[in-house]
Amino acid sequence: MPAAYRLLIDWLANGFADTAVDDVTARTLDQRQPLTFRYGRDQARQFSPTSPGEAGFMLDNRSRDYSPENTSSPVAGFVTPGRPVKFQATSGATTTVLYTGYLDDFEIKPGINDRAVPATCMDALGRMRGVQVTTPLYQAIKTGEAIGYLLDAIGWPADARDLDAGVSVLPFWWLDDTDAFDALMQLADSEGPAALVTVDGQGRIVFRDRHHRLTRTQSLNVQSTWRSSGTEPCISDPVSYNHGWKEIVNAVSADVQVRTVAVSPSQVWSSQGLITIPAGTPVTVTAQAGQPFTGALNPVAGTDYTLVSGTVSIGISRTSGQSTVITLTSAAGAIVQDLSLRAQAITSTTVTVTVEEPSSIAQYGRKSLDGGRLPTWANPYDTLAILQLIVGRRSERLPTITVTMRGAGGAARLAECLGRNLSDRIHLTESLTGLDSDCFIEQISHTVGSGGLEHVTTFGLEKIPAVVSTPFTFDVAGRGFDDGRFVGDGLDNPATMFRFDTAGQGFDQGVFSY
């Protein structure tokens, strides 16, 4: 039995309270264009960045309800981009929200053979693009904290986020007129492989750290077994397979900035010339430093500027970062000259961290990682751990496979279409390629058409590499010198890694990992 679907658009921005106008299901499912929804990484690899979730559908507009010029429409004046969108499916007693986002763009097709409105949507991550962010400077915080500060800066609600604390420690972190989405991806890169930023069915921005697949049940245990034939649920055509030869990485280097805070304040910004402050009208000046600073001081007459006439009051918007806004006010008017700013400057030196796998280089030649996705903010030790993870998991080929699950093929298949999520561990047995391995889900896309009778889900999967089965252990026979292997190669085994809070994996039981 097919699921029951609902597509809702919150036209009046009141929390989907007006069901009569918000529920557009009947105007979309029977259209020529099926509904499509996509989210996950831009490639089916755990090293790939997250792409904003996208959706597309076509609204029947014979009623002209969605024509912006129609003042008699029940949603007149509200047919605009930015309206919240939610798509959900109910199978049995379970309702699953498959997509939450915002109307991004639409086109009015008034032709007699069309009378429709094709629309596209973007989730919360996509809405971060083009938003410029400036923050204070923070010291010794983890990646999850930094993401929280970033979301604070763009005004994202505290109850609409689900953030892991993170593993990487960032000695210094700040933003200065930086694109919010780019900043988010830099933080994910600084957390390392397997870190994930996405949007869940509740519309919350979700951050999972690089250890989440070592600790969360959905990633530790096989959630389902998929086969090309035989016992359900079975996958269908099309299936595409990438053997992974071109994605081998066996050498990677990263430049890490090691920063130091000056003991005493010094001049970090200055201007020349006169600044006139009209009576009762504040004047603002942006002090843009060439390097980050902390402990900025309010400018002082005779030290940081010359008072030419009148009296002036001066304040700054923030005491750290790479810029601050200086506000000058005067009740009767004033003139100042050669304004400057003092703060504790932060200087840096560069340390290069390099990890290579000699045996892989000897077999395949040197295969370096594209330098565009390196850990920008991590400290040298976390950077080393991240590079070891990259090389440890990529020095040998690691296949990816894209499979199709057709919900119309039966209840078991429909359950997979509706129930699987990013980072879920599944076991795939595919006869033609010979792949018979556990895989992680890295991409998901849904297509719903034929009035809801057809639900096709495409999953992008990456094979999970083998873990070290005999980690070096001093007090275990067969795992000592010449027997055990050091696990410092990025292939952590969640069943044996050291964990304080898990019975059987503490002192004398677990082995250290990254």
Asked whether residue 392 is assigned to any structural domain, the reply reads yes
Question: For position 500, what pLDDT does the model report?
Answer: 57
Provide φ and ψ at 180, rounded to 5°: -65, -40
Question: For position 235, what pLDDT does the model report?
Answer: 97
Could you report the per-residue pLDDT of 304-363, keeping only the tens digit for each?
A: 999 999 999 999 999 999 999 999 999 999 999 999 999 999 999 999 999 999 999 999
What integer is the mean pLDDT of 72-99? 95
CA dihedral 403, 405, 409, 413 (to 10 degrees): 120
What is the span of the domain harbouring residue 15?
4-127
Task: Name the domain count of the chain.
Answer: 3
Given a cut of 50, whether residue 286 has pLDDT beyond it is yes
Exposure pattern of 161-180 as b/e (b: 16+ CB <10 Å)?
bebbebbbbbbbbbbeebbb
Same domain membership, residue 199 and residue 265: no
Asked whether residue 406 is assigned to any structural domain, the reply reads no
User: Which of residues 127, 149, 172 is at a domain's end?
Assistant: 127
Question: For position 1, what pLDDT does the model report?
Answer: 75
Same domain membership, residue 190 and residue 116: no
What integer is the mean pLDDT of 178-192? 97
What integer is the mean pLDDT of 382-403? 95
CA angle 266, 268, 269 (to 5 degrees): 135
Asked whether residue 241 is assigned to any structural domain, the reply reads no
Same domain membership, residue 122 and residue 10: yes
Same domain membership, residue 166 and residue 140: yes
Provide φ and ψ at 181, rounded to 5°: -65, -45
**What crossing angle do the helices spanning 180-191 and 380-394 adopt, rounded to 10°?**
80
Given a cut of 80, whether residue 476 has pLDDT beyond it is no
> Where is 153: in which H helix or E strand?
helix 143-153
Given a cut of 90, whether residue 375 has pLDDT beyond it is yes
Given a cut of 50, whether residue 488 has pLDDT beyond it is no
Asked whether residue 407 is assigned to any structural domain, the reply reads no
User: Which of residues 99, 127, 155 is at a domain's end?
Assistant: 127
With cut-offs at 50, 70 and 90, classify the pLDDT of residue 409: confident
Question: For position 510, what pLDDT does the model report?
Answer: 55
Question: For position 373, what pLDDT does the model report?
Answer: 82
Given a cut of 90, whether residue 171 has pLDDT beyond it is yes
Same domain membership, residue 136 and residue 114: no
Question: For position 340, what pLDDT does the model report?
Answer: 98
Per cent of the chain over pLDDT 90 is: 84
Same domain membership, residue 8 and residue 119: yes
For residues 256 and 234, give the distance between their C-alpha atoms in angstroms, rounded to a whole number. Answer: 47
Question: For position 451, what pLDDT does the model report?
Answer: 86
Same domain membership, residue 162 and residue 268: no
Question: For position 502, what pLDDT does the model report?
Answer: 61
Question: For position 76, what pLDDT does the model report?
Answer: 93
Could you report the per-residue pLDDT of 24-73, keeping only the tens digit for each?
A: 999 997 777 899 999 999 999 998 999 999 999 999 999 999 999 999 99
Asked whether residue 507 is assigned to any structural domain, the reply reads no
Given a cut of 80, whether residue 480 has pLDDT beyond it is no
With cut-offs at 50, 70 and 90, classify the pLDDT of residue 499: low
Q: What is the DSSP string of 105-133?
A: EE--B-STTT-EEEEEEE-HHHHTTT-EE
CA dihedral 68, 73, 76, 80 (to 10 degrees): -50
What integer is the mean pLDDT of 411-420? 96
Same domain membership, residue 123 and residue 134: no
Token duo for residue 486: 């050091």
Asked whether residue 251 is assigned to any structural domain, the reply reads no
Lowest mean pLDDT among 7-11, 32-36, 379-383: 32-36
Asked whether residue 217 is assigned to any structural domain, the reply reads no
CATH of the domain at 144: 3.55.50
User: Which of residues 94, 127, 160 is at a domain's end?
Assistant: 127
Same domain membership, residue 122 and residue 11: yes
Question: For position 369, what pLDDT does the model report?
Answer: 85
Same domain membership, residue 13 and residue 54: yes
Asked whether residue 504 is assigned to any structural domain, the reply reads no
Same domain membership, residue 286 and residue 200: no
Question: For position 371, what pLDDT does the model report?
Answer: 62
Same domain membership, residue 385 and residue 321: no
